[in-house]
Structure 1
Amino acid sequence: MAHKPQIKIPATYMRGGTSKGVFFRLQDLPEAAQQPGAARDALLLRVIGSPDPYGKQIDGMGGATSSTSKSVILSKSSKPDHDVDYLFGQVSIDKAFVDWSGNCGNLSAAVGAFAISGGLVDPARIPQDGVAVVRVWQANIGKTIIAHVPMTNGEVQETGDFELDGVTFPAAEVQLEFMDPAAEEEGAGGSMFPTGQLVDDLEVPGVGTMKATMINAGIPTIFVNAEDIGYLGTELQDAINSDPKALARFELIRAHGALRMGLIKHIDDAATRQHTPKVAFVAKPAPYVSSSGKQVAATDVDLLVRAMSMGKLHHAMMGTAAVAIGTAAAIPGTLVNLAAGGGARDAVRFGHPSGTLRVGAEATQQNGEWSVTKAVMSRSARVLMEGWVRVPGDTF
């Protein structure tokens, strides 16, 4: 029996923030995969190495975690006053499923650099030295991200001394501005707080009723108090990820929160929407030792946050969830704001399993409705490898 040979597709493997992913220019994809649909999904699944019942993604570019099972497609922007359109696909590890329902805030840090190097940004907008301002249209959620990319001698400056907890080596700082980050999710009426409340009583059968702040900002996120679900907020990955009962409880919370937020119509629909919403638990500052062995003092942070991603506790913090944290922290009365001490604030530094992260947000209230003009944080990014990825010719 004859088998089709492999085909090769231009691609770049990049780290952005605390995530890694395979980046493509839309024009470089096979014609069948240049449009959304089954062919595109099948291609990305094969590139990343999913579905893998072993959970290792050995036969692909994925790293067997939610942070490393990612794909990005970029093209010159079709939107006025934007440089590049950015589409993010979260690839399931053990299922034949690509989730297009949200953004990846960490990989957003790599989008500007890839767009410049890939010829997707007008050369007239790129300084020889200094900072290139790349206007990104985030196509998954219909939002603008402004990336400030350092340039040296006409090339993207990737090396530097900016340190990011959760990333081993320093690199050049990339500042990101998430403009008007309140997500306009279907069913949520475009509201930052889809239930109309800063804090709700969320009833989860089999778990109980708990206070929850459910917010659409950066990515739909359900915040609960750590103590209400039996945690301290200082937990590292293994404390949660090695406990199947805990993971099942978090999935129940996520599913019922999604239903309450109007993101799904039936509780069973949560299984086909793995990337969103996120679930995070918050606590007041307390000392702990990070996953790298670094001591984090209570005085180093304003609050503690742990977040779930694709069914597991994240090793650091998703960039989009950091936007949600910064936004919620800026609004007095949310669980995030209360954990940080309450009151008005325009930035917080929170503790996560790998260390700390600072995020700022500008929130205003008009006619009883809260809005956020932008959230700001710094990440870093660099190219790890570039060339071609190969997949069997009968993949799609």
Structure 2
Amino acid sequence: MTFKPQIKVPATYMRGGTSKGVFFNLSDLPEAAQVAGSGRDNLLLRVIGSPDPYGKQTDGMGGATSSTSKTVILSKSEQADHDVDYLFGQVAIDKAFVDWSGNCGNLTSAVGAFAISNGLVDASRIPENGMAIVRVWQANIKKSILVHVPMTNGEVQETGDFELDGVTFPAAEVKLEFIDPADGDGALFPTGNVVDELAVPEFGVLRATMINAGIPTIFVNAADIGYTGTELQDDINNDEQALAKLESIRAHGAVKMGLIAHISEAAARQHTPKVAFINKPMTYLASSGKEIHSDNINLLVRAMSMGKLHHAMMGTAAVAIGTAAAIAGSLVNLAAGGGQLSEVNFGHPSGTLTVGAQAILQNGKWQVTKASMSRSARVLMEGVVRVPEVN
């Protein structure tokens, strides 16, 4: 029997925020993977090492968590007044499935650096020293994002003293601005309500704020589902019954948000929506052992990603948190103390994060023009990734 040799695909392995992923220039991909479809999905699955029934992704670049099982494809933008088109693929660990339904806010912080370093941004827009503003078109959700990339002597500056909870070492600060972050047709609240009653068989009727901003997200009060909002990963992720109940909230919420027609379809849409549970500030110990004091935060948030409690906070979910906090009467706003809130600092399992949003009420409907936060990013490895040839 003759076996085909491995192919080499130019790639860059990058950390963005509290996530890691394999970045590709669209033109470097094999021809079959340059267009959406099974050829692309099969290549990315093999690169990451999925599906893996052992759940370790040992034979690929994935790190066996939702935060490290990610892929990014970038190309020069086809949109007016944008520099780069950004396509994100969330790769399932134990299934042959790539979810293209949403964005990764964390990896967005690495998009600008990759785009500049790989010649996807016009040289006239890149200062020798100072801040390059990369205009990103997020192709999954069709939204604009501005990525502020520090430049030193004509090179992307990756080192610095900006500290991000959930990331061990400091790096250069990368500011992100999510323009008009409401998902889809611009409706922040797909049901028309800031707070809904969500029927979930395992819990009865839950109060929920369901919002399309950054990424579709379902917020519920921690106390209503038996939690405090101070939980760490081991408190949730080792409890299969708890995970099933949280997935039920996600499935029923997805139906109510109009994202799927029936809860049975939720399994084919694992990346979105997200489920997050919230509470008023309480002092707790983060996963690093650091004490997060209640006086230093506005609220507590814990979020689920790909069926597990996230170790920190997804960047897109942070946008949803900041947006919901800015809207009076939402569960997030109420947990943060209520009133007009243009910025909140929330506690997550790894520490804290500050996010801001600008919200206005027009003709009886809430609109958010911009949400912002800071992350960091750096190249971990670059060269080629080797994969057995796939169809």
Using the size of structure 2 for normalisation, the TM-score is 1.00
Matches of 2:344 and 2:359 in 1, distance apart? 13
Aligned residues: 391
Partner AA of 1:123 in structure 2: A
Matches of 2:192 and 2:199 in 1, distance apart? 17
Q: Deviations over 1:7-60 (max 9, x none)?
A: 000000000000000000000000000000000000000000000000000000
Q: Which residue of 2 aligns with 1:67?
A: 67
Q: Which residue of 2 aligns with 1:179?
A: 179
Matches of 2:237 and 2:297 in 1, distance apart? 24
Q: Deviations over 1:185-217 (max 9, x none)?
A: xxxx54110011010110011332110000000
Q: Which residue of 1 aligns with 2:15?
A: 15
Q: Which residue of 2 aligns with 1:375?
A: 371
Tell me the CA shift for residue 357 of structure 1: 0.1
Q: Which residue of 1 aligns with 2:47?
A: 47
Q: Which residue of 2 aligns with 1:292?
A: 288
Matches of 1:205 and 1:246 in 2, distance apart? 14
- List alignment gaps of at least 5 residues for structure 2: none
Q: Which residue of 1 aligns with 2:255?
A: 259
- Superposition pairs of residues 1-396 of structure 1, within 5 angstroms: 1-184=1-184, 190-393=186-389, 395-396=390-391
Q: Deviations over 1:111-164 (max 9, x none)?
A: 000000000000010000000010000000000000000000000000000000
- List alignment gaps of at least 5 residues for structure 1: none
SS of the counterpart of 1:106?
helix
SS of the counterpart of 1:107?
helix
Tell me the CA shift for residue 266 of structure 1: 1.3
Matches of 2:263 and 2:287 in 1, distance apart? 34
Matches of 1:368 and 1:227 in 2, distance apart? 31
Matches of 1:386 and 1:102 in 2, distance apart? 25
Partner AA of 2:192 in structure 1: G
Matches of 2:56 and 2:158 in 1, distance apart? 29
Matches of 1:312 and 1:258 in 2, distance apart? 17
Matches of 1:74 and 1:58 in 2, distance apart? 26
Partner AA of 1:312 in structure 2: K
Moved more, 10-19 or 207-216: 207-216
Partner AA of 1:388 in structure 2: V
- Identity of aligned pairs, percent? 76
Matches of 1:192 and 1:131 in 2, distance apart? 31
SS of the counterpart of 2:289?
coil
Matches of 1:374 and 1:364 in 2, distance apart? 11
Using the size of structure 1 for normalisation, the TM-score is 0.98
SS of the counterpart of 2:106?
coil
Tell me the CA shift for residue 267 of structure 1: 1.1
The CA RMSD over aligned residues, in Å, is: 0.5
Tell me the CA shift for residue 373 of structure 1: 0.5
